[in-house]
Structure 1
Amino acid sequence: MTQQRTRQQYDEIAHYLRTAIREGYFQPGDELPSEAELTRKFTSSRGPVRQAMSTLRTEGLISSGRGRRTVVLDNVPTQSFDDIISFSQWCHNADIVPGQRTQWVTRRPAEKSLAASLRIPDGDPVVSVFRLRLMDDVPTMVERLNYPLEFGRHVLAFDTDSGSIYQELIDQGVDISRTSRTIDAIGANEDDATLLEVPVGTPLLRVRRRAFTGAGALIESSDDRYLPWKASFTMNSTRGNPSSMALTSTNLGDI
């Protein structure tokens, strides 16, 4: 069996199991089909089946299965890279109509803190976007996006009220391959409160994100502020497997 065929089978089996768990065909506590049953179902060797099961264990969806049948631990679905980084894609996959109302788009010199976040010299040109994001026409999140001019020039030529900036960058050939996210809480300032139609000081879920090319070049530094009753983040982790989540202490002076 070729490596490509093995990979295709592994993806197919993992996708089948994730979907069955997400849609409730397998509930938490239910036993999954055995390796033998899955090899027959997918006309596969045991290798791709074991790879698929190992992936779901790492994602925290199923038990280790050592010496016993594997069972479902949780039904929180995993998401694709696109779903996580793109508000529009996330909404579409949840059968929600995304929307946006751009407040402004500008080219400006980067002040010290923004330049440091984007790893560019102070005063270098950046393109910044300030938008209100909507879910089914209801205010949900305020986003502040910043790009070095190399990538931001695509944003300047794009109608930011027409849809996803992320998708536009992809369509323009920008290689967005990795992101880092810091999640915390912050009180709504006057701009946030006005756009989200809440009192000043209302707690908001803040997601600060940086996006990188495959070669490590910084594409974006963003600050997204969600109404906490509109969005939450869930992560599964299991002992013995690395997690993409890190718990860090916060210097109160940085908030």
Structure 2
Amino acid sequence: MIDKSSPLPIYYQIQEMIRKKMDAGEWQPGDMLPSERIFAEEFEVSRMTVRQAITELVNEGLLRREKGKGTFVAEKKLEQTLQGLTSFTEDMKARGFEPGNILNYFRVSEANSDTAKALNMKAGEKVYEMQRIRLADKEPMALETTFIHADLIKGLSEKVAGKSLYSYIENEQNLKIGFANQTLESAIAAEKEAELLGIQAGDPILWISRMTHLQDGTPFEYVKSAYRGDRYKFSIHMPRDGR
């Protein structure tokens, strides 16, 4: 119930009521919430107050709005720690999800200046280029465009691209992957990205660039990925020296 005499703002009380229902399992991921009008009538408050409460939870990633449909309980976010280098396939399996791929394209192309710089090669040299929609339990999680140094990694094909590249490189090519440098930044989904990821244009995404190196330090992979901001989050353990 809403206590209008409480010093707590009404929108906050509504927000916490919704949160408690989700925590108790009364509203499950995918369930649609009552409309703002129904909430407003139930609590005898303005729809603007209800909208503020819901917006706060949308911003937290606990709810999601679908234009023309309503407000739904969001799926829980997958959390990936930024410690150690794992493939998407390895990461999903470790979390109990069935990994999958939809291969949009696979081709041999000429490296442009950005790709050539990332892979320490000359512009115009050959790279394998592929774009995959990465899936967890058949749901799109990320749109990933990958460039592989063609002179270093041999025998790539569409069949290989549908599986774990790291497994192929280490087990079939007998090469040892050493480390990667990765950057993350927030962005909003363009129309094409949104369409492929099953979200709305303008929805938040995590934009990630990664350069992966063999054990001897030679760069072999350049990846640009768009992760769904409503389904993915990253965490990092940061020990202080000497503690």
Please tell me the residue identity of whatever aligns with 2:195.
T
Match of 1:20?
none
Q: Distance in 2 between matches of 1:196 and 1:186?
A: 14
Match of 1:173?
174
Q: What's the CA shift for 1:215?
A: 1.4
Match of 1:227?
228
Match of 1:108?
109
User: Normalising by structure 2, what TM-score?
Assistant: 0.62
Q: What's the CA shift for 1:118?
A: 1.1
Match of 1:153?
154
Q: Is the strand fraction higher in 1 or 2? A: 2
| 5+ long unaligned stretches in structure 2 | 1-78
Higher RCO, 1 or 2 (CA under 8 Å, sep at least 6)?
2
Match of 1:122?
123
Q: Distance in 2 between matches of 1:149 and 1:78?
A: 30
Q: Distance in 1 between matches of 2:80 and 2:127?
A: 36
* Partner-residue secondary structure (3-state), 2:152: helix
Instruction: Tell me the alpha carbon deviations over residues 203-224 of structure 1, each in whole angstroms, 9 at most, x when there is no partner.
Output: 2112211111121110101012
Please say if 1:186 is aligned against 2:214. no
Match of 2:142?
141
Q: Distance in 1 between matches of 2:98 and 2:190?
A: 26
Q: What's the CA shift for 1:196?
A: 0.5
Match of 1:215?
216
Number of equivalent positions? 164
Match of 1:202?
203
Please say if 1:93 is aligned against 2:94. yes
Please tell me the residue identity of whatever aligns with 1:215.
D
Contact conserved, 1:151 with 1:174, CA < 8 A, in 2?
no
Q: Distance in 1 between matches of 2:116 and 2:182?
A: 18
* Partner-residue secondary structure (3-state), 1:92: helix
Q: What's the CA shift for 1:113?
A: 1.2
Match of 2:39?
none
Distance change (3 Å), C-alpha of 1:77 and 1:224: closer
| 5+ long unaligned stretches in structure 1 | 1-75, 243-255
* Partner-residue secondary structure (3-state), 1:239: coil
* Partner-residue secondary structure (3-state), 2:236: coil
Q: Distance in 2 between matches of 1:201 and 1:224?
A: 16
Q: CA RMSD in A?
A: 2.3
- Give the 4+ runs in structure 1 shifted more than 4 A: 76-80
User: Normalising by structure 1, what TM-score?
Assistant: 0.59
Q: What's the CA shift for 1:241?
A: 5.7
Q: Distance in 2 between matches of 1:183 and 1:137?
A: 25
Q: Is the helix fraction higher in 1 or 2? A: 1
Q: What's the CA shift for 1:80?
A: 6.8
